[in-house]
Structure 1
Amino acid sequence: MQQRGKKGNTDDLLAASFKELLCKAPMEKITIKDITDKAGVIRPTFYNHFADKYALLEYIVRHDLLEPIKPLLLNDMIQEGLTLLFSSMQNERAFYERAVCIDGQNSFESIARSEVSKLLLEIIDQKKQGKSHKYAWLDRQIIAEYYANSMCYVAIAWIKRDYMISPKDLSEVYKYLTKSSMMDVLNELV
């Protein structure tokens, strides 16, 4: 198994430290010193790896949630990818329950949307290979942002509603919403 190297190890140490701290305190109460003390590194080390706590949160979203699902999405295994994504969030339930409470300019929601959008752009670029959409206005950026917004909304609503259904069921709900027209969904209301 290939090691990620010293930078990867330090990134992971800082991420683990931050996750543990966020489970116990709100974001605004956590200092860089708290994160580095818990990780067992000196404060300047943090800034060699991340600009601030929000960059660390971006890393966690990208590394822990999105990198593992990328191969599945590239191989058209959307359901499996979403189930893995939602399972990962549920497995670190305490962290994500606190993370979704981070609001403002650098909210968890905006960070997640941005990171998901970047991932989807990568996938579109790998799959597109010179193809254009029949609707010229519907470019790669709009497609990525649309699905990033919908995925993040569904995931955050699920967390805020106390994980009411399983990750597999949530991926089914997302599939249903994305494959059905608005009128189909409205007409099926009981």
Structure 2
Amino acid sequence: MTGSLITKKKIAKVFKKLVAQIGFEKVTIAKIMQESNMRRQTFYDHFQDKFDLVDWIFQQEAIEKIEDNLAYEGWQVIVENLFIYFEENQLFYRNVLLFEGQNSFQEYYTQHLKVLINQVLVVKKNAENELNDSDHLFLEEFYANAFVSLTTKWIIKGCKIESHQFAEQMRFAFLMSFEEKE
């Protein structure tokens, strides 16, 4: 592991701890770096702002695992692993998701889900009519936003439904309109 990655991971670990303790909006770069025992400039050597740091954490911890598994895991397993990840990190993500500003995590999460939906699933087609590109893009947007909305509510309410059961409910909803690629 390079020194840069070690530094990023240390900053991320402190950030996650602070977000869980005091909330996303109250965490400042100064607090993160003071707790990390590093210079403030070190943060800016690696990240633009705390939104960039949230994106990096999600990319490192969740998205890369999803993308690494696309070639050999079914989408149901990938979705379940995503919910397990969120359940394990629910306090952090609950505090991140409560922030709904311009750079909200929901926007970032939605973009990644559209890519996942496009890569993993094929929309069921009627025998009479093929889906055009516009309709396909609409369905990607629709399902990604539905997925994000339900996931957000689940996390904010404290993951009261166990991750495996929640994944099963989402799988059922998706199976109503999608089929796996062959």
Does TM, normalized by the shorter one, top 0.5? yes
Gaps of 5+ in 1: 128-133, 182-190
Whether 2:90 is the aligned partner of 1:93: answer yes
The alignment of Structure 1 onto Structure 2 pairs a total of residues equal to: 170
Q: TM-score, normalised by structure 2?
A: 0.81
- CA distance in 1: counterparts of 2:7 and 2:73, whole angstroms: 33
Q: Which residue of 1 aligns with 2:153?
A: 157
- CA distance in 2: counterparts of 1:58 and 1:146, whole angstroms: 22
Q: Which residue of 1 aligns with 2:62?
A: 65
- CA distance in 2: counterparts of 1:30 and 1:65, whole angstroms: 22
Q: Which residue of 2 aligns with 1:170?
A: 166
> Percent identical across equivalent pairs?
26
Are residues 110 and 48 of structure 1, via their aligned partners in 2, closer, same or farther at CA, if it must alter by over 3 Å? same
Question: How far did 1:151 drift?
Answer: 2.5
Please give the per-residue CA displacement for 1:83-111, whole angstroms capped at 9, x wherever unaligned: 11111111122212211111111222122
Q: Which residue of 1 aligns with 2:126?
A: none
Whether 2:141 is the aligned partner of 1:145: answer yes
Greater RCO structure (CA 8 Å; 6+ sep): 2
Question: How far did 1:8 drift?
Answer: 1.4
Q: Which residue of 1 aligns with 2:111?
A: 114
State the one-letter code of the partner of 1:178. F
Gaps of 5+ in 2: 123-129, 178-182
Equivalent residue of 1:44, what SS?
helix
Are residues 56 and 167 of structure 1, via their aligned partners in 2, closer, same or farther at CA, if it must alter by over 3 Å? same
State the one-letter code of the partner of 2:17. E
Are residues 143 and 15 of structure 1, via their aligned partners in 2, closer, same or farther at CA, if it must alter by over 3 Å? farther
Match of residue 72, structure 2, among 44, 66, 75? 75
CA RMSD of aligned residues (A): 2.5
Are residues 9 and 31 of structure 1, via their aligned partners in 2, closer, same or farther at CA, if it must alter by over 3 Å? same
- CA distance in 2: counterparts of 1:147 and 1:67, whole angstroms: 21
